[in-house]
Amino acid sequence: MIMKKKDELHDELNEHAPFLREFKKADDGFQVPDGYFESVEDSVFRQLEAIGATRHAPAPKHRPSLWQVLQSLWQPRIALAFAGVLAVAFSAWWLFRPATDGTTDSRTHLMVSAEDAESYLLENPMQLEPEDLAAAFPEGQLPAITLENGGSNTPGEAVRLAPEDLELLLRDMTDEELGNLHAL
Amino acid sequence: MPPTNKPASDEQILQLLRSDNTFERGFRMLMNVYKERLYWHIRRMVLVHEDADDVLQNTFVKIYRGVLLFEGKSKLYTWLYRIATNEAITFLQNRKRHHASAIDDGDNGLSNRLRADSWFDGDAVQLQLQEAITQLPDKQRTVFNLRYYDEMPYEEMSRVLDTSVGALKASFHHAAKKIESYFRQADHF
């Protein structure tokens, strides 16, 4: 093995720097004081004692506990990011949560039954435009409007009022409304 | 362990180092096995005996502090060479910084110190070879010394210096050419 190493170096020097191969045969001229190597150990230990050198012990190899993993994760950056995610999630829940007052969420109307809607329309016909009323009911299915005196009518049929009802109605009307009747 | 002339193996040394009771014996054994190889590696880097002695002492202090952290992924002597090389290069860089404002630069200062070193008795050619080596950059000088003097295989050198084998071969080749050029300029051929 050593011979092989020497041969490799010999070939390398022959190829790249033959003159260096010749130099290698001679002594390089470096010397040490007599007994130097015998004193190295004691000299090193004296220095270690003088500087109070301590050994670095390897860290114990064990699996970190769940608490240690959580502690390592609990860094300020990670905590801030976690708080940010929580804030975004809470905001999303707040914006899209089910409405409780029934005034802003359109889905509230979906919860009103068809019967309730029909009742509302029939009880408050004057609050709706004729187009809205027509759109609310399929063509031909417009229900009869029951008036306070128990009468009813169907689409296209003239409203017939009892004379006393008509008198009450005329009495409640303002002068302007009476004028409008004449205009009709 | 009975006294024997056979050098202790790395495994024996590491076994002793693992116990507090036998640590000192193991560390003495480590120094006994590796002190000469490490010394000559350091000496060829820093050239002067007193400097080499200082760097060797610091190297062993570093090894003492960190040997329990050695995981055995590489050979022990590879790890020791790496520490010694780093210590030697750090020493040379510190001295270059210290001499930066001086008249002569660090490399000439190094060869001057070698001339004055009473523990160097090489002839003119040997002195010139060392002067040529000091002209190399620190890393290239390390590669040259490890290959030329220590005859370290490139694969092991690769682990010591964390450099690819191809880069190390190219570095050695360039170093040899620079040294040859240095000698040509001095009319030695």
Q: Which domains does chain B have, with CATH numbers?
A: 10-185 (1.10.1740.10)
Å between B95 CA and nearest CA of chain A? 21
CB contact under 8 A, B129 and A23: yes
Reported ipTM: 0.84
pLDDT band at B1 (very low <50, low <70, confident <90, very high): very low
Q: Which of A26, A47, A48 sits opposite B126 (nearest CB)?
A: A26
CB contact under 8 A, A48 and B61: yes
Chain B's closest residue to A1, CA to CA, is: B153
Q: Which of B74, B121, B119, B113 is CA-nearest to residue B96?
A: B113
The residue assigned the tokens 């490490």 is B38
pLDDT at B30: 96
Tokens at B76, concatenated:
């022990």
Give the C-alpha separation, A7 to A9, whole Å. 5
Residues 6+ apart with CB under 8 A from B60: A40, A44, B31, B35
CB contact under 8 A, A51 and B151: no
pLDDT band at B25 (very low <50, low <70, confident <90, very high): very high
pLDDT at A150: 47
Give B-chain residues touching A41 at CB under 8 angstroms.
Answer: 28, 31-32, 35
Amino acid at the residue B186: A
Chain B's closest residue to A49, CA to CA, is: B61
CB B47 within 8 A of CB B134: yes
Neighbours of A108 (CB within 10 A): 14
Sequential DSSP letters for B34-86: HHHHHHHHHHHHH-SHHHHHHHHHHHHHHHHHHGGG--SSS-HHHHHHHHHHH
Phi/psi of residue B171, each to 5°?
A: -65, -45
Q: What is the mean pLDDT of residues A162-169?
A: 74
pLDDT at A26: 76
Q: Is the pLDDT of residue B188 over 90?
A: no
Give B-chain residues touching A39 at CB under 8 angstroms.
Answer: none
pLDDT at B147: 93
Separation of CA B135 from chain center: 16
Q: Is the pLDDT of residue B36 over 90?
A: yes
Give the C-alpha separation, A156 to A139, whole Å. 13
